[in-house]
């Protein structure tokens, strides 16, 4: 009950601030789940597919990729399917898929940044509204009551506090998750180069021979 009364004291602006907090929390949890390393590039898959490619068991390698719902699997599947093409052509195809997967990893991250900015502005809006209410009380009476003035001041402070409580975690989550995406993207690039070199190794040996 204390929390409800506290929120009510912030006025109507607290409603969008609360909605923003719910959206920010849901988005953060969803991205934390989606950006797990085990989901993006499972270690067992990495070891398995590299060994299959080294043994040139293309059918098994392709089957291993298709049974995994992971960005790394979709990336390597392209390389295996187009293994007979020149290196640059395979690389172009992998880069195309890589951009699509990177975009999927970054999904909803801009929303967190937007919430961080909007929550701050909503807090400022509530603050201005509270101060206007306070000055209306002061201007409407020669002897304004302290309790009436306190309502406006309380609204101003509560909105500022609420907006910052939503904005700060949203911005921090956005920055951390963005850095997480960058690290995972680098790992995918390194893995794709490793696989590409492994696929083309027999052809290089044949040319030397």
Query: Rounded mean pLDDT of 161-171?
Result: 92
pLDDT at 11 (0 to 100):
78
Q: Report which of residues 106 and 146 the model is more confident about.
A: 106
Q: The pTM is what?
A: 0.82
The terminus-to-terminus CA distance of the chain in angstroms comes to: 81
pLDDT at 159 over 90: no
How many CB atoms sit inside 10 A of residue 103's CB? 10
Q: DSSP characters for 13-29? A: THHHHHHHHHHHHHHHH
**Taking Cα atoms as reference points, which of 55, 74, 57, 56 lies closest to residue 66?**
74
Structure confidence at residue 70 (pLDDT): 92
Quote the pLDDT of residue 158: 84
Does the pLDDT value for residue 207 go beyond 50?
no
- Interval 86-125: pLDDT, tens: 889 988 999 999 999 999 999 989 999 999 999 999 988 8
Q: Is the pLDDT of residue 2 over 70?
A: no
DSSP string, 137-198: HHHT-SS--HHHHHHHHHHHHHHHHHHHHHHHHHHHHHHHHHHHHHHHHHHHHHHHHHHHHH
Supply the mean pLDDT for the chain: 85
Rg of the chain over all Cα atoms, to the nearest angstrom: 27
Question: What pLDDT was estimated at residue 206?
Answer: 42
Residue 194 clears pLDDT 70, i.e. is over it: yes
Contact 158, 9 (CB under 8 A): yes
- Residue 87 structural domain: 2-208
Each residue's pLDDT tens digit, 15-52 = 899 999 999 999 999 999 999 988 999 989 999 999 99
Instruction: Read off the pLDDT band of 199 (50, 70, 90).
Output: confident
DSSP letter at 106 equals T
Split into its structural domains, the chain has a count of 1
User: What is the model's pLDDT at position 147?
Assistant: 63
Q: Are 75 and 194 in contact (CB under 8 A)?
A: no
Decide if pLDDT at 190 tops 50.
Answer: yes
| 64-82 average pLDDT score | 91
Decide if pLDDT at 55 tops 70.
yes
* Residue 205 scores a pLDDT above 50: no
Confidence of residue 3 (pLDDT cuts 50, 70, 90): low
């Amino acid at each position: 009950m204390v929390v409800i009364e506290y929120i009510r004291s912030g006025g109507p602006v607290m409603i969008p601030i609360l909605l923003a907090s719910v959206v920010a929390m849901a988005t953060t949890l969803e991205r934390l789940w989606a950006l797990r390393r085990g989901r993006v590039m499972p270690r067992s898959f990495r070891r398995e597919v590299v060994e299959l490619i080294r043994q040139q068991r293309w059918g098994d390698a392709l089957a291993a990729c298709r049974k995994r719902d992971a960005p790394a699997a979709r990336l390597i599947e392209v390389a295996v399917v187009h293994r007979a093409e020149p290196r640059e052509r395979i690389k172009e195809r992998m880069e195309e898929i890589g951009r699509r997967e990177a975009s999927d990893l970054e999904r909803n991250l801009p929303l967190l940044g937007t919430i961080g900015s909007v929550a701050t502005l909503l807090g400022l809006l509530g603050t201005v509204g509270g101060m206007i209410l306070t000055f209306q009380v002061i201007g409407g009476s020669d002897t304004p009551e302290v309790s009436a003035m306190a309502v406006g001041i309380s609204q101003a402070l509560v909105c500022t506090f609420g907006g910052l409580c939503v904005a700060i975690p949203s911005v921090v989550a956005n920055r951390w998750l963005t850095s997480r995406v960058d690290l995972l993207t680098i790992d995918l690039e390194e893995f794709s180069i490793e696989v590409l070199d492994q696929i083309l190794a027999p052809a290089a040996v044949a040319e030397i021979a």
